[in-house]
Amino acid sequence: MSISGSTKARGGIYKVLKYAEKIVLEGGFLTIEDSYSLLISREARNLCLKYSIAIGLTGNLGLSIGIMSAKLGFQVTVHTSADAK
């Protein structure tokens, strides 16, 4: 199932994945030769739980970053204006 078809949303997902990759590589739970499906392993998620992502965005970009961050185990907060659609 697609999270979003927008270009900005895909860019947001990419940034979250790169952040997770950096953390998990530095934590020793992943090497560049491994399957990146390990990013959603219990060990990787437990490591990501130590980190948070906070953003102030609306629409598809905010939604996609929030969903991807939570899926990888990050503590995530999406701030949006009260009048956003």
Residue 45: inside a domain: yes
The model's pLDDT over 13-62, given as tens digits with 9 standing for 90+, comes to 999 999 999 999 999 999 999 998 999 999 999 999 999 999 988 778 88
Return mean pLDDT, the chain: 87
Confidence of residue 5 (pLDDT cuts 50, 70, 90): low
Residue 35: inside a domain: yes
Residue 53: inside a domain: yes
What's residue 63's pLDDT?
Answer: 86
Domain count, the chain: 1
Residue 1: inside a domain: no
CA distances from residue 27 to 6, 32, 37 in whole angstroms, order as listed = 32, 13, 16
Higher pLDDT, 8 or 47: 47
**CATH number of the domain residue 29 falls in:** 3.40.50.1100
Range of the domain at 58: 7-79
What's residue 41's pLDDT?
Answer: 92
Show contacts of 13-20: CB within 8 Å, 24+ apart: 13/64, 13/65, 13/68, 15/65, 16/53, 16/65, 16/68, 16/69, 16/72, 16/74, 17/68, 17/72, 19/51, 19/53, 20/44, 20/48, 20/72, 20/74
Which single residue is written with the structure tokens 């934590």?
Answer: 27
The model's pLDDT over 56-74, given as tens digits with 9 standing for 90+, comes to 887 788 888 999 999 999 9
